[in-house]
Chains A and B, each alone.
Chain A
Amino acid sequence: MSRRRIGLALAAASFAWGLAASVAHATDISFWTWRQEDKAAYNELFADFTKANPDIHVKFESFPDENYPTIVSTALAAGKGGDVIHTHAYGWLEQFVKAGYFEPQDMTSVPSLANQPADALVAGTYRADKKVYSLPFASQTLGLFINKDVFAKAGLTPPTTWDEFISVSKALKEKGIYPLANGMGTSWFNEMFVAIFTNPFLGQDFVSDLTSGKTTFKDQRYVAALGKLLELRDYMPDGFEGIDYETAGQLFISGKAAMLAGGSFDIATYRTQNPAINMDFVAPPMAKAGDTPQVTKFFDGGYAVNAKSANKEAALKLVNWMGTKEFGDKFSALLGNISPIKGVVIKDELLAHVAKLNETAMPHINVVYFRFEKPTGSELLQGDITKMMSGSITPDQLAADLTNGLAKWYKPFQGK
């Protein structure tokens, strides 16, 4: 073999070795989520991350929403699963943390935690050790969608108080328009429906009394607020008991209904489904004029790091980046969600208005405080609310069922 050939072979070998080394040094991590519909946006965000961190590539992997808890828990139990896991908040997160599946996050591993407001961090914190396990990603706001064109055509003004709501609804009904699009056909949304319309009657004092153990759901303030829901039945579509949240959304965006109790998470969806829609998102009717407008707010979930991840360092790096203003700005712009990160600029006018409403928001009581043990407040409320709306149980019975069920594990309710 000539010297020249040996030289060429050595050069080729060094090139191949170098190439292999560079491939070996790139870290591939996966991001698991239930948000299939957000794939394009996340891939765009992850491309930005890789641009700043060329040695880390992120793969987006999504699973069906309904089966997500099962898929994630099974994978994590087997020591597998994504490196970064999209989690729900509060009680949902806690069961995974108890099992030791997630890595704690602190100011050393995830410095961007400093960008999160305190109420957001609660959503990703394990109550027992007060450590954060999931970096909050978005707040969701529950309120009232208004179809402005329908109101304009009917010559009416959107209501701000309960009395106005009833009188406006009567007028809309007389004109052959469904005043309120909602039905009772979707269990998970029924719980939100209750929060939307009862919270303005309950106020922050009730929440303080409830969480400090001074009162229970049997409190007359809660029973009276539930009673108000019964008045809504006359203004919901015919056969409302069987109308699901998707149908309600269609009635609203098609202009058949003037109002819809819903979540800010659907703003982007409704705009996609009907780009011509002229809508507003406002606080639900206040108990009386002069009260503070009160939407309902909760944190949807966060980003956790798999404790068994082989690429923990890269995963924490990604999570830390997901807590930066750079990520938050683009996240809000692409997904129409409100990022809790401090200083995030929300350019969309309606979304900025929702963020403003959040300043005086009430918490989603069941989700924030009563989903930690079995039976959860959600199970109990979702089971009873359809019965109450169809008249087979009274608000008093619902309040008693909720209190007695929660008393199984929530000590302040025991014996009350």
Chain B
Amino acid sequence: MNNGWRHTAKAFRWRRSLWIASLLTPALVVMVLFVLWPLLSAFRLAFYEFNGLQPTGFVGFENFRKVLFETPYSDWTYNALKHNIIAFAALMVFENGTAFLLAYALLKALPGHRIHQVIVFLPVVLSAVIVGFLWKLFLHPLFGLVNQTLALVGIGAIPWLGNESTALGSILFANIWHWLGFPTLVLLAGMQRVSKEVIEAARLDGAGDYVLMTRIIWPLIAPSVTIVTILTFIGSFNWFEIPYVMAGLTGSPGGATDVLGLYFYRTAFGSTTTGIQDFGQGSALAVMMFIIVAGVTAIALRYLRRREIEL
């Protein structure tokens, strides 16, 4: 009897394991084939020299040395990295800052807040390619909406995307326009979770909007801020689509909009007009990007989580 029960339990456990395995296997296969294997391949290729399109020999850290310490490659790497860092800082201040203010305004449920919520989120559903193309048209020096409007007040044609000092800012503006709705929604969700009693108590103690925002809401939405910060960081260092559509593969003008994503793509896969493909150096760049994103994300998560508890 006891043996029979044990046998049934064993069979049940076996069937259950098999069932779980059958559910996990497809996802695992996809992950191994399309995530893990390419990742490991990139790691491996980063240590090989390429002559033409075939690896010709193991060269250790030579590809990393070239992209980090040998001109002109190192100049291009640091130039692109600088733009990724600028993008992160700008998005944190302008995109997430604006998102915080917008979320607070929406939280206050002013008249028309529902339609505003939709309007703010609407560009997020558009593809980055469409947004990039649209803003490229808007910013066209001769026929663009922006310059046509400025011409009405006597301001001449500004080459927004052709001038080194305005190109990156213009692309960042398009990116902010595209994504603003996302952090707004995340922060709004965080704000809506803040207990009404806490807000009412603060109000009764005489807290105005500024104090409420900085002393009550801000610390209590720390988990949402962590998510937004981490996603902004990952997005800034994997940035590709909008710069590609608006400034091309070379990050024109003169590399003023070059970012690591573009530089990696250009190096690994070349372009019809510049020539050579170099999977070795390209893989070295990809590995570096992975280390930056994964490493900083892990450290930042640890730090921000601790801050959440302190706040």
Contact = CB atoms under 8 A, between A and B. Distances in A.
A247 interface: yes
Given A98-B51, A247-B142, A382-B250, A373 B160 contact: no
A383 B250 contact: yes
Interface stretch (B14-22, B188-196, B201-209, B264-272): B264-272
Interface in A1-52: 34
B53 A98 contact: yes
A88 B272 CA distance: 8
B294 interface: no
B159 A240 contact: yes
Given A95-B277, A187-B252, A238 B156 contact: yes
A148 interface: no
Nearest to B170: A242
Nearest to A379: B274
B159 A241 contact: yes
Contact of B253 (A68, A88, A241, A379): A241
A241 B163 contact: yes
A371 B54 contact: no
A383 B161 contact: no
A380 B72 CA distance: 9
Nearest to A370: B275
Interface residues of A, number: 57
A386 B140 CA distance: 17
Contact of A386 (B158, B253, B270, B273): B253
Nearest to B159: A242
Interface in B152-166: 156-164
Given A73-B277, A382-B250, A387 B159 contact: no
B254 interface: yes
A84 B157 CA distance: 47
Contacts of B73: 375
Contacts of B162: 183-185, 239-243, 386, 390
A236 to B, nearest CB: 11
A56 interface: no
Contacts of A390: 162-164, 253-254
Contacts of A98: 51-54
A72 B249 CA distance: 18
A94 B163 CA distance: 35
Contact of A68 (B272, B274, B275): B272
Contacts of A375: 72-73
B276 interface: yes
A77 interface: yes
A76 B52 CA distance: 12
Contacts of A34: 272
A73 B53 contact: yes
A397 B9 CA distance: 80
Interface in B195-219: none
Contacts of A384: 254
Interface string B69-81: 0011100000000
Interface in B239-285: 248-250, 252-255, 269-278, 281
B72 A69 contact: no
B160 A242 contact: yes
Given A92-B275, A386-B162, A401 B142 contact: no
A101 interface: yes
A91 B53 contact: no
Given A187-B273, A239-B147, A243-B141, A374 B53 contact: no
Nearest to A371: B275
Given A70-B269, A88-B272, A240-B159, A187 B52 contact: no
A205 interface: no
B187 interface: no
Nearest to A72: B53
Contacts of B143: 247
A169 interface: no
A390 B252 CA distance: 12
Given A237-B142, A241-B159, A247-B140, A387 B274 contact: no
Contacts of B252: 185, 187, 382, 386
B275 A237 contact: no
A94 B52 contact: yes
Which residue, of B140, B142, B157, B249, has the highest number of chain A Cβ atoms within 10 A? B142
Interface of B: 51-54, 71-73, 139-143, 147, 156-164, 248-250, 252-255, 269-278, 281
24 contacts: A69-B277, A73-B53, A95-B52, A95-B275, A100-B54, A183-B159, A183-B162, A184-B162, A185-B162, A185-B252, A186-B248, A238-B142, A239-B142, A239-B147, A241-B159, A242-B162, A242-B163, A247-B143, A251-B142, A376-B276, A385-B254, A386-B252, A386-B254, A387-B253
Given A66-B271, A242-B141, A382-B250, 19 more contacts: A65-B272, A66-B249, A73-B53, A77-B54, A88-B272, A92-B272, A95-B53, A96-B52, A98-B53, A101-B53, A188-B273, A191-B273, A239-B157, A240-B159, A242-B161, A243-B141, A371-B276, A374-B278, A379-B275
* CB-CB nearest 6 A-B residue pairs: A98-B52, A242-B162, A239-B141, A241-B162, A242-B159, A188-B273
Interface of A: 34, 65-70, 73, 76-77, 88, 91-92, 94-101, 183-188, 191, 237-243, 247, 251, 371-376, 378-380, 382-387, 390, 392, 401, 404-405
